[in-house]
Chain A
């Protein structure tokens, strides 16, 4: 009789255990943390990839740019910038948002040039090359600027509504769309190339300062600076994974094939992930 009672108890407990709700998971977590690469004294803010698949990182604290390989080995360094923030690689070379001077500086074969701009920036924080010109995030003017061979215009003003910004920090042009890290509205906004608002991402994900972004055919990656996270969205604009391991106030992120590199501003390092 006792054995029967015991069997019933085991059966009940087993049934309850099987029906216990699982911890909520986002679907298809495929990015796996590999390692953290120390950058020693570098306080990295921006990261970019050149045509030879070398990485560049901006060191805003020390006004430098570093060219490194994908294992973090420094290949070259460039000095005397004025608070370089986000950077991007384009036809002209490495475009640098120089926050302190309000200029887009282009680094090409160890030479520095200043891009001609018709805008009066107030703390340019992000830049992306496009059709002979540049799109830029204009931090204190709470707007995006566009200056290409064919067009010149601005997008947005200070505010929280769709199409408005509160301290935009990063920008990328991808597949005929403008992606903007709207840092202190804690979201990413997406526009067409004429500056018409199309959609907004991550508004309800409790981001605390969306400082950087990177867009691929499959994903949109958003750095959540204060919470030390990277949010990964799929092509359907759904949250597919949240990365936390190895992240310490990440300011920017880039994906190279199946590898992801996130620059940790506070951690003074790069967190590397692989896609499995």
Chain B
């Protein structure tokens, strides 16, 4: 009888002890409160293990038992319910098959000590705006890269935070006539922009 029970236990572990490995990239994990809030929501998933979150890159990994049959849509819904946006999700199933949606690997690259990247929303319309915004950002000491996307209005900027802060970059861009998340352009500067660049 004992052998039968042992067999059942071992069989159960064999059948149900398999894990699926999930990797996702989440936008908006700026601070520990956000990151560990997301972790907290995921901890409610039955059997979830080894949750790891890299706040800087927004990458999250964890394992769940295969018999949970967790889908990519389930993960997306969970992230959305927690108040965030999943930019990419992938899973390596215990049977060796993989699935993915979006781009898990296009996260902000880890940077050298003292350097960081930021995504800043900057108002503007056109390629002239793009040239002005990027030129202004790059003119600041400590800014290593600046790329503004006309469609998303997002400026991706790399900078040495010991030399310049995000707020300094935003203030400089505002002085060139473009509103940012934290700094607004004066009306006089804004009115002097070419007509095609006036976004208000």
A interface list, Cβ under 8 A from B = 43, 45, 60-61, 83, 85, 99-100, 123, 125, 139-140, 167, 169, 183, 206, 208-209, 211, 225-229, 244, 248-249, 251, 265-266
> Once the chains bind, are A209 and B167 in contact (CB under 8 Å)?
no
Q: What's the Cα separation between A203 and B32 when bound, in Å? A: 22
The smallest beta-carbon distance between A188 and chain B, in angstroms, is: 16
Q: A251-B32, A265-B31 are in contact. Are A227 and B37 (CB under 8 A)?
A: no
Within 8 Å CB of B56, what residues of A? 266
| Contact residue among A99, A183, A249 (Cβ-Cβ distance under 8 Å from B36) | A99
The smallest beta-carbon distance between B27 and chain A, in angstroms, is: 14
> Once the chains bind, are A227 and B165 in contact (CB under 8 Å)?
yes
Within 8 Å CB of A208, what residues of B? 166, 181-182
Within 8 Å CB of A226, what residues of B? 30-31, 166
B interface list, Cβ under 8 A from A = 30-33, 36-37, 39-40, 43, 56, 116, 161, 165-167, 181-183
Q: A100-B43, A229-B167, A244-B165 are in contact. Are A139 and B181 (CB under 8 A)?
A: no
Q: What's the Cα separation between A248 and B37 when bound, in Å? A: 21
Within 8 Å CB of B166, what residues of A? 208, 226-228
> Once the chains bind, are B183 and A139 in contact (CB under 8 Å)?
no
Q: A99-B33, A169-B33 are in contact. Are A206 and B183 (CB under 8 A)?
A: yes
Closest A residue to B36 by CB, please name it: A83
Q: A228-B165, A265-B31 are in contact. Are A206 and B36 (CB under 8 A)?
A: no
Q: What's the Cα separation between A99 and B34 when bound, in Å? A: 11
Within 8 Å CB of A100, what residues of B? 36, 39-40, 43
Within 8 Å CB of A139, what residues of B? 33, 37
Closest A residue to B181 by CB, please name it: A208
Within 8 Å CB of A211, what residues of B? 31, 33
The smallest beta-carbon distance between B82 and chain A, in angstroms, is: 9
Q: What's the Cα separation between A57 and B143 when bound, in Å? A: 32
The smallest beta-carbon distance between B12 and chain A, in angstroms, is: 29
Q: What's the Cα separation between A100 and B36 when bound, in Å? A: 8
Closest B residue to A169 by CB, please name it: B33
> Once the chains bind, are B167 and A227 in contact (CB under 8 Å)?
yes
> Once the chains bind, are A228 and B161 in contact (CB under 8 Å)?
yes
> Once the chains bind, are A43 and B32 in contact (CB under 8 Å)?
yes
> Once the chains bind, are B30 and A209 in contact (CB under 8 Å)?
yes
Within 8 Å CB of A265, what residues of B? 31-32
Q: What's the Cα separation between A54 and B32 when bound, in Å? A: 24
Closest B residue to A58 by CB, please name it: B32
Within 8 Å CB of A85, what residues of B? 32-33
Known A-B contacts: A83-B32, A99-B37, A226-B31. Give 15 more (CB < 8 A).
A45-B32, A60-B36, A85-B32, A167-B33, A206-B167, A208-B166, A208-B182, A225-B30, A226-B30, A228-B161, A229-B165, A229-B167, A248-B161, A251-B32, A265-B32
> Once the chains bind, are A227 and B182 in contact (CB under 8 Å)?
yes
Most buried by A among B31, B40, B183: B31
Within 8 Å CB of A251, what residues of B? 31-32
Q: What's the Cα separation between A204 and B24 when bound, in Å? A: 35
The 15 sampled A-B contact pairs (Cβ below 8 Å) are A60-B32, A99-B40, A100-B36, A100-B43, A123-B37, A123-B40, A139-B37, A140-B37, A206-B183, A208-B182, A229-B165, A248-B161, A249-B31, A251-B31, A265-B32
Closest A residue to B167 by CB, please name it: A227
The smallest beta-carbon distance between A98 and chain B, in angstroms, is: 11
> Once the chains bind, are B183 and A125 in contact (CB under 8 Å)?
no
Q: What's the Cα separation between A266 and B30 when bound, in Å? A: 10
| Contact residue among B30, B32, B165, B182 (Cβ-Cβ distance under 8 Å from A206) | B182
Q: What's the Cα separation between A16 and B52 when bound, in Å? A: 60
Within 8 Å CB of A266, what residues of B? 56, 116
Within 8 Å CB of A99, what residues of B? 33, 36-37, 40
Within 8 Å CB of A225, what residues of B? 30-31
Q: What's the Cα separation between A99 and B41 when bound, in Å? A: 12
Q: What's the Cα separation between A265 and B33 when bound, in Å? A: 11
